[in-house]
Amino acid sequence: MTEGLSQHRHISFTAHYTGYIWYQMGISNPIFATAKGKFLAKLAHPLESWAERYVGGSMRSTLKQRHCMIDEHLYQLLAQYPKLQVLEIACGLSPRGWHFRQKFPDLVYRELDLPDMAQLKTQALQQLDPNSPQVLSADIFSHEFAQIFQQFDAQYPLLVISEGLINYFDKALLAQLFQAISHHGQRFPEIHYLSDLYPEPVKNKLAHIIWSSSKLLKFMSRSAFSFHFTHPQEVRQFLTDAGFQTSNIVQPKYYFQAQTNETSAEEHSGDLVWMLHASSRQSSR
């Protein structure tokens, strides 16, 4: 399948925005900051500043929260599994693969995106290091996705990462993606999945404004962008139904204040973004 046939190809414009915001925050390399990203960041700046003042958070503030939570959990998993392999899907202009390959030279860390973004990212990476691996290309809802898993060593655990992705799909497609990761992960002794997700903003006093903003993002990305979950338990059950054995939902309010993975029972903390960590272990290994 080529990118021209992918109905999800329009989502990629957000990668330019996030790539530039991470650069502005000092957690990325300028090679990942594009002119399109700079334009989008400048356009969104007044609204983002207003949201941070009156809503208690914005898209750019959640970008930092989710990126830091995923990075810290990746560090923890690498300490626990020295032979861990990583596949980051819909990698966009994230600096994570480049960053972790610098710190862990022996780490097998492959990135995946649709063809146009994969080519752009490969060119950027190879400007930093000519030996950088080529970004893989596939549509995660095609038969090509299964072939991507074949490129990893089945003797060692695999971690799949997605960031800024899953809210763009309706629940049926989201279930298909989770099931695919769980199913293809069965060839490894352990499969782990880290991702951010945006819950319904039910505890925010300006929830209606957040909903309106999400409709604009849905229109611009030509996607099914929506909020699917209200309670952490709903996410865990969804992951269980997809085939994962264990899962945890991490909420920034508790994670950054107490430096703990606890989610305070089943309550929605009011945060604009959460992180999920799902996993399965093959008993036959």
Token pair belonging to 125: 């990476």
The domain that holds 192 is classified in CATH as 3.40.50.150
Overall domain count for the chain:
1
The answer, yes or no, to whether residue 140 has pLDDT greater than 70, is yes
Q: If pLDDT is split at 50, 70 and 90, which confidence band does 46 have?
A: low
The answer, yes or no, to whether residue 92 has pLDDT greater than 80, is yes
Structural domain of 97:
3-281
This prediction's pTM: 0.85
The answer to whether 223 touches 169, Cβ cutoff 8 Å, is: yes
Average pLDDT over residues 229-237: 94
Q: Are strands 108-113 and 85-88 parallel, antiparallel or unpaired?
A: parallel
Residue 1 pLDDT: 37
Q: What is the mean pLDDT of the chain?
A: 83
Residue 44 neighbours by CB under 8 Å, 6+ apart: 17, 59, 60
Region of residue 127 (left: phi > 0; alpha: psi -120 to 50; beta: else)? alpha
User: pLDDT (tens digit, 9 = 90+) per residue, 66-76?
Assistant: 999 999 999 99
